[in-house]
Amino acid sequence: MTAERHSHAELRFAYGTMGSGKSTMALQIYHNLASAGMRGMLWTQLDRVDGRVSSRLGVSADAYRVEEGLNLYAAGKAYADRNGQLDFMVCDEAQFYSAAQIDQLARVVDELDADVYCFGLLRDFRGFLFPGTARLLEMADSCDEVAVESRCWCGRKATHNARLVDGVQVYEGDLMVVDDPSQTPNSTYELRCRRHWISGMSAPGTVPKVAKPKTVESSAAKPEPSSADIAPVEPLGEPSSSGTAV
């Protein structure tokens, strides 16, 4: 009987609020591994720049886009068959992946012996865990908060991402809405500590406006995202470039 091969690959999850450097870290890891000659894939969904992983610092790289229903294990296996091996996957905006896709990433680690690095938010604008995030917390080999702290306007550590629609903080609406001031209505996000996320209080000198949430007894009441919430994507294909200058 053949002994089972012991894999040293891991599924790792790094989380933080907006502006904490998650995408910058994802790009740095991808750059370092690719520069070392390792073969891997960079993934994202609903990034601020379509078809790329982009950092607020201005660096970016072409990426595969995670479509609704895409089997990430099958995509990884196809890449390995084409290129002889798959060493790693870097997955940004992982909070938007489905629970099934997180399980597929675990298979990439266990069956393809490839490291998977996931980066994402913990909570949505309503204060609940994203479905993808919840599954990562259950399945990942390691879960670590990004070391760079973001701050609320009051100076406290930011723990929540508040959604503002035309300047009014809201607690209900579609789960997947990208920060885009050009949209109508104007949807933006603001980092807040728990106290000011709950109260909806804005910085001094601004008029505090907030749409109070309905009473929610458990996370079971969260609406599931529908296909209409997800922007159309292109079929899976090779990114136009394999690296980035970081």
Residues forming the active site: 93
Cα(91)–Cα(30) distance, rounded to whole angstroms?
A: 10
Characterize the bridge pairing of strands 115-120 and 88-91.
parallel
Q: Which residues contact 82 (CB under 8 A, 6 or more apart)?
A: none
Name the residue among 126, 117, 100 with its Cα closest to residue 23.
117
Cα(11)–Cα(143) distance, rounded to whole angstroms?
A: 9
Burial class (CB in 10 A: 0-12, 13-18, 19+), 51: middle
